[in-house]
């Protein structure tokens, strides 16, 4: 069985690049012309010394259209795109050992260091300008790709630190984009996304929606509020903003006039209800959330302002067993065990009760880090913040000693005592953080997520600084109020 490169008719617009509209037919032709050039790049003679011919590519293109084009050309050339969770040198070394001949396809910006490199802009017709590609080719119908071809391999961080691979076949990726589009009614919608296309959520909700959901995408990856507003104004309606709670909060706090849109989509972290309500009021449009994981891809959606429950995407099924909740069917490859505690309400509707690894039990009382974060972030004057369990907390839990949580918070207008006072009104005292540390920034990545190791390093630096300034004390009094 085969699926086309895109479900668009050749005359439909599939992308906007600055002031330029690119039709699906032009995109198909560009991908067809690029594929043999990309295949040739895998030959040993064209690689840097020591290079080997291979079948795998890492695509670091920052231009979303060029990423989609590189991904399409790789699939047409029979090559698989690797999508690691990190481009850190250590991760790339691990992948290079497992996938000989791996090359990095880029557009002149970020690279996967240590790999043979190929600049996609040098392979395109005419010039690749900041806002357009000159000499666009004549349109072509969508070429076909075998449904069983592994088009992408996505990775999670394994328990040993070795990336764990999850293969995604072309046919399942096509079903993925179609299922999301059906749920969101996204066909014909122009997408502006703040999340990178290399991330599973950004890949599904921009690239796959454009390829097999009937949508079109804007080429950039806006980050700052003014850039997001300008990007949305640059594409026609109907339009949709694909973002994260972090980017959404920053955008709404900026107080800029918001362009009208038909939908806002959020994922990667729990969305606090006040933020969802502000977003719906600010955009005068529904806000939806997507739920899933790297292993399964997206599996459910909800509109939190209307209902706390999640509904499975078309074709996807869930079964509850002794181990937990499994998802299968539709675009899901095999059967995937979810890491969240789930309460089923019907065959396709469920409620999230918290992530298994996210749950904490202190003095016989249970809650989740996600719930605590939500309570912290809803305090007026708190710009950002998070709770975390330290390695000491884990050791205490294993030895049956009393656990204590820590928290990092950005709240310039509040004292530590004021934040703790507000928390006491929201959570059980046993979960109050010890210490609560005021910081200037939190180390969020491109999707707004926080990396545990970086948070622990920030906390350790605070403790070291406090010890140096207060000999004999493990924390500064102003940062460690007791319940």
Question: Is 109:23 a contact under the CB 8 Å cutoff?
Answer: no
- pLDDT given at position 130: 67
Which pTM value belongs to this model?
0.79
- pLDDT given at position 157: 64
Q: Domains in the chain, start-ordered, CATH in brackets?
A: 2-354 (3.40.50.12780), 363-479 (3.30.300.30)
- pLDDT given at position 395: 38
- Angle at which helices 24-41 and 64-76 cross, to 10°: 60
Q: Which of 100, 63, 60, 55 is nearest to 84 (CA)?
A: 60
- pLDDT given at position 39: 87
- pLDDT given at position 341: 85
Q: In this structure, are strands 103-106 and 117-119 parallel, antiparallel, or unpaired?
A: parallel
pLDDT in tens, 228-277: 999 999 999 999 999 998 899 999 999 999 999 999 999 987 788 999 99
Q: What are the residues whose beta carbons fall under 8 Å from the beta carbon of 145, sequence distance 6 or more?
A: 2, 3, 4, 5, 75, 76, 151, 170
Which residue numbers in the chain have pLDDT < 70?
Answer: 42-53, 130-131, 157-161, 354-359, 361, 363-366, 391-403, 467-483
């Amino acid at each position: 069985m085969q699926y086309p490169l895109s479900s668009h008719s050749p005359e439909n617009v599939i992308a906007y690049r600055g002031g330029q509209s690119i039709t699906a037919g032009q995109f198909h032709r560009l991908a067809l012309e690029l594929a043999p050039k990309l295949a040739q790049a895998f030959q040993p003679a064209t690689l840097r010394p020591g290079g080997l011919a291979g079948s795998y590519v890492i695509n670091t293109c920052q231009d979303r259209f060029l990423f989609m084009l590189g991904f399409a050309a790789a699939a047409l050339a029979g090559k698989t795109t690797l999508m690691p969770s990190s481009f850190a040198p250590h991760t790339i070394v691990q992948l290079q050992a497992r996938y000989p001949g791996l090359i990095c396809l880029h557009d002149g910006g970020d690279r996967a260091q240590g790999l043979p490199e190929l600049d996609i802009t040098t392979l395109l017709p005419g010039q690749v300008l900041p806002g357009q590609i000159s000499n666009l080719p004549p349109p072509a119908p969508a070429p076909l790709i075998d449904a069983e071809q592994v088009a992408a391999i996505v990775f999670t961080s394994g328990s040993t630190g070795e990336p764990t691979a999850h293969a995604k076949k072309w046919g399942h990726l096509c079903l993925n984009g179609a299922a999301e589009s059906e749920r969101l009614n996204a066909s014909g919608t122009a997408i502006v996304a703040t999340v990178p296309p290399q991330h599973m959520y950004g890949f599904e909700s921009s690239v796959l929606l454009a390829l097999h959901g009937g949508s079109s995408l804007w080429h950039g990856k806006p980050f700052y509020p003014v850039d997001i507003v300008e990007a949305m104004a640059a594409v026609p309606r109907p339009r949709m903003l694909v973002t994260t709670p972090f980017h959404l909060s920053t955008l709404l706090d900026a107080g800029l006039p918001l362009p009208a849109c038909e939908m806002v989509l959020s994922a990667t972290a729990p969305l606090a209800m006040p933020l969802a309500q502000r977003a719906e009021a600010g955009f005068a449009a529904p806000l939806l959330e997507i739920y899933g994981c790297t292993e399964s891809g997206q599996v459910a959606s909800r509109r939190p302002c209307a209902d706390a429950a999640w509904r499975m995407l078309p074709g996807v099924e869930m079964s509850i067993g002794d181990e937990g909740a499994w998802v299968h069917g539709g675009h899901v490859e095999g059967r995937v065990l979810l890491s969240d505690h789930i309460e089923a309400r019907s065959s396709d509707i469920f409620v999230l009760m918290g992530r298994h690894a996210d749950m904490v039990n202190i003095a016989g009382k249970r809650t989740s880090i996600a719930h605590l974060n939500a309570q912290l972030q809803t305090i007026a004057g708190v710009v950002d913040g998070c709770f975390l369990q330290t390695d000491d907390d884990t050791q205490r839990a294993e030895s049956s000693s009393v656990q204590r949580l820590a928290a990092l918070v950005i709240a310039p207008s509040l004292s530590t005592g004021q934040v703790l006072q507000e928390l006491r009104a929201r959570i059980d005292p046993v979960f109050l953080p010890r210490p609560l540390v005021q910081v200037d920034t939190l180390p969020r990545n491109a999707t707004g997520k926080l990396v545990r190791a970086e948070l622990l390093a920030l906390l350790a630096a605070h403790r070291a600084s406090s010890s140096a300034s207060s000999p004999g004390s493990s924390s500064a009094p102003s940062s460690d109020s007791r319940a």
